[in-house]
Amino acid sequence: MKRLVNPSVTREVVDRFSFHFKKQLGQNFLIDANILNKIVEAAELSEADGALEIGPGIGTLTQALAEQAGVVVAVEKDDRLIPILSETLSDCANVTIRHADVLDTDLHALFEEKFSGRRVSVVANLPYYVTTPIVMKLLEEGLPLRSIVVMVQKEVAERMAASPGGKDYGALTIAVQYYTEPQIVCKVPKTAFMPQPNVESIVIRLKLRESPAVSVQDEELFFKVVKASFAQRRKTILNNLQHGFSLPSGKEAMLEILQRADIDPTRRGETLSLDEYARLADEFALKR
Q: Which residues are annotated as a binding site for S-adenosyl-L-methionine?
A: 28, 30, 55, 76, 101, 125
Binding-site size for ligand SAM (CB under 6 A) equals 23
Q: Toward ligand SAM, which CB reaches closer, 77 or 159?
A: 77
Q: Is 28 in the site for ligand SAM (CB under 6 A)?
A: yes
* Cβ contact 160:182 at 8 Å: yes
* Interface with ligand SAM (CB under 6 A), residue from 9, 14, 25, 231: 25
DSSP conformation class of 130: G
Q: Toward ligand SAM, which CB reaches closer, 95 or 257?
A: 95
> Sheet harboring 95-99: ordered strands across?
95-99, 71-76, 50-54, 120-125, 145-153, 201-208, 180-188
Q: Per CB under 6 A, which region of 21-29, 115-123, 172-180, 254-262 contacts ligand SAM? A: 21-29
Q: How far is CA 212 from CA 100, 137, 230, 245, 275, in A?
A: 30, 16, 21, 25, 11
* Interface with ligand SAM (CB under 6 A), residue from 13, 30, 160, 204: 30
* Interface with ligand SAM (CB under 6 A), residue from 67, 91, 101, 141: 101
Count the residues in the chain. 288
Q: Per CB under 6 A, which region of 51-59, 109-117, 142-150, 225-233 contacts ligand SAM? A: 51-59
* Interface with ligand SAM (CB under 6 A), residue from 52, 65, 69, 76: 76
Phi (first) and psi of residue 6, to 5 degrees: -170, 135
Q: Toward ligand SAM, which CB reaches closer, 64 or 261?
A: 64
CB burial of 27-61 (b: ≥16 within 10 Å; e: otherwise) equals bbbbbbeebbebbbebbebeeebbbbbbbbbbbbb
Report the alpha-carbon distance of residue 186 to residue 183 in Å, rounded. 9
Residues that bind ligand SAM (CB under 6 A): 25-30, 54-57, 60-61, 75-78, 81, 101-103, 125, 127, 130
